[in-house]
Amino acid sequence: MTDRIKVGIIGFGRMGEFYVEDMLGSGRWDIKYICDRSPVSRGLAAVACPSAVIISDEDIIFNDPEIQVVGLFALADSRKSQIDKAIASGKHIISEKPIGLTPEDEWDSVFRAEESGLVVAVNLYLRNSWYAQAVKSFIESGEIGELAIVRICHMTPGLAPGEGHEAEGPSFHDCGMHYVDIARYLAGSEYGTMHSQAVRMWDYKDPWWLQCHGTFENGVVYDITQGFVYGQLSLNQTHNCYFDIIGTKGVVRMTHDFKTARVELRGVTRTEVLEEKYGGKNIYRLCEAFADKLAGLESSPDKALPTFRDAAIASEFAWKCLEDSRRNVLPSIGDDATLVEIRKRRASLEDGYGLLHKRRTKKK
């Protein structure tokens, strides 16, 4: 009991629920507090974790010397001040992305966290996926020759405009920063050039589909496509998600159906197809790696903790792509009536892509 890591969680929404479930399942965490502004979320938190003290004042967590780790799973508008308080009170941090509302805030948190010596990590969930690690290892093995092209695509009929965490940006920021991050991880280099083309679907003010391409500093070429515009009103919905990695001699690619991920390795000496559980947001793996790090255990490469710096780079670059897209024509296609129809359909869907209203914990 006493060896378990004492954690205080702030934000018990869709993501907070995943953390609580996975931390309880691991047996290495003692969730002492769950804090949320909303009485509904607090009610659900009490059901999900009866042993936790459920509160609405986050300062109780920061002022409790027993708390070792804070989990920042509310929204980006409160993240910066919570990071500041965590660092000031010497608490290690697991944070959701983005780590702030603006690049200035994000970089301030990067520098403070790096100076603090505390253990900090951000849920850039693709880095902790078995499939991204399999693709990365294959690239590093030399089986595809020299890495030349990184192509990443994520298009689903998910979060509709105006439905989600508006302040966290249009879909290319809110969700696209994950793909910006994973392209950089796979290329093993920093972004160099970039050109972005986007579309304002259904006459919404912001782009909801964006494609960018360019080069990394090491010369590797990339294209990233992200959009939640993929057949929102089709009778039977589908998606199109892949990594497509091309070398001078071979290729490695990944697709998934959100249940199973499939990696095809086509190298110079071996051809192999790997299929395993998709793994969702990989929160269990992130929390286990974090607990290992706190315990001073050697972290295997597949348990790397995504850093605040990784998150700030991905977030800033995603904002830059959105800015660039506004300089490149940015057509508006479709009308608001279609968007109203899409929102109406999503509100009544029980099973669908990225439904924010769907809570895992049920009221007693």
Contacts to ligand NAD by CB under 6 A: 10-16, 35-38, 41, 58, 73-76, 78, 96-97, 123, 125, 165, 168, 174, 281, 356
C-beta closer to ligand NAD: residue 144 or 283: 283
Assess whether the previous peptide bond of 98 is cis (omega < 30° from 0): yes
Phi-psi category of residue 96: left, alpha or beta, with phi > 0 → left and psi -120 to 50 → alpha: beta
Query: Are 286 and 123 spatial neighbours (Cβ–Cβ below 8 Å)?
Result: yes
Other C-beta atoms closer than 10 Å to the C-beta of 115 total 9
Query: Are 330 and 207 spatial neighbours (Cβ–Cβ below 8 Å)?
Result: yes
Q: Which residue has the tokens 């940006």?
A: 169
- Closest approach of ligand NAD to the CB of residue 115, in Å: 24
- Closest approach of ligand NAD to the CB of residue 289, in Å: 15
What's the chain's length in residues? 364
C-beta closer to ligand NAD: residue 96 or 310: 96
Pick from 312, 103, 319, 102: which is nearest to 196 by CA? 319
- Closest approach of ligand NAD to the CB of residue 235, in Å: 27
- Closest approach of ligand NAD to the CB of residue 232, in Å: 19
C-beta closer to ligand NAD: residue 85 or 139: 85
Q: Which residue has the tokens 């850039």?
A: 124
Other C-beta atoms closer than 10 Å to the C-beta of 266 total 17
C-beta closer to ligand NAD: residue 98 or 207: 98
Burial of residue 293, with CB atoms counted within 10 A of its CB: 0-12 exposed, 13-18 middle, 19 or more buried: middle
C-beta closer to ligand NAD: residue 14 or 151: 14
Residue nearest to ligand NAD (CB): 13
What is the spatial distance between Cα 119 and Cα 51, in angstroms, rounded to a whole number?
25
- Closest approach of ligand NAD to the CB of residue 174, in Å: 6
- Closest approach of ligand NAD to the CB of residue 249, in Å: 33
Strands of the 332-333 sheet, one edge to the other: 271-277, 260-266, 251-256, 240-247, 147-155, 221-227, 209-215, 195-201, 332-333
C-beta closer to ligand NAD: residue 78 or 338: 78
- Closest approach of ligand NAD to the CB of residue 355, in Å: 10
C-beta closer to ligand NAD: residue 177 or 252: 177
